[in-house]
Amino acid sequence: MASISPIFNAQELFELNSSKIILVDARASANTFENYQKEHLKGARFVDLNRDLAAIPKDPADGGRHPLPSPEAFAKTLSALGISPSDHVVVYDDKNGSNFAARFWWMMRAIGHEKIQVLNGGYQAAIQAGFPTNSGIKTFEKTTYPSQEWKLALADIEEVEKARKSNQNIVIDVRDKNRYEGITEPLDLIAGHIPGSVNIPLTENLDENGLFKSADELAEKYKTVIGHIKPENTIVHCGSGVTACHTLLAMDYARLPIPKLYVGSWSEWSRNDREIATKK
């Protein structure tokens, strides 16, 4: 667990000297960079999922749709963003952390960066709080971020295969119920879920206002789900290892150990002739 909460509330943007934090814009859209150029939170620097937070393979069967880049490549991204290991970084998206902000948070934590937080409520919350915006491209001095290995636990497809059959393990699928049950599949080739996995949609981490539920409420929820299972035997996945990070963030916020991330997720599993379950 980091020394600071992984959640940063919009009002805190006014309470901190803006020169002491680095804002990172991780919003997603069809024209992500163009939208960033048109308007973003004042001073924010831009990060792109496909370019900066993943190493897109030719075949998603090999690691899924959004495998992690190497730690060395990510360190270069942070250097290009002008981030140093001691910097206080706050990342936001426009999906309450469920898009790319939580992935960036996880990657930062995974290389040992402590002062990294996700803006609660995202871009919209900051706008509603009256935080200023600007346009154009933010210029800043580059740094040299030291390369690290991934320090948070990962699971591969073979470990998931074993875990799903064991009562000493739990595999959590954070996709929405219809995708889990195989009713619909908007992104991958086959609908369904990993047999033996349990469905806890990431939307359950948020309240009716789209903000994270309290740490105590989240702790009670996940302790009930996980029960006696050890943290190292808990695996979380989604469609391609991005939105799963939202649940890892929620669990860290709840002061629980961060489980293993299965980055390949459904996009890898469903392309490798593995057993598939549906509600049908």
Provide the annotated active-site residues.
238
Euclidean distance between CA atoms 243 and 142, whole angstroms = 29
Contact 133, 39 (CB under 8 A): yes
How many Cα neighbours within 13 Å face the side chain of 7? Answer: 24
Reported in sequence order, the residue ranges of the chain that DSSP labels E, i.e. its strands, are 7-8, 21-25, 40-41, 45-46, 88-92, 116-119, 133-134, 170-173, 198-199, 234-237, 260-261
Residue ranges of the alpha helices (H) in the chain? 12-15, 32-38, 49-52, 71-80, 101-110, 122-128, 157-163, 177-180, 215-226, 244-253, 265-269
Conformational region of residue 89, where left means phi above 0, alpha means psi within -120 to 50, and beta covers everything else = beta
Structure-block tokens of residue 24: 């990172």
In DSSP terms, 234 is beta-bridged to 170
Structure-block tokens of residue 19: 């020169």
In DSSP terms, 40 is beta-bridged to 134
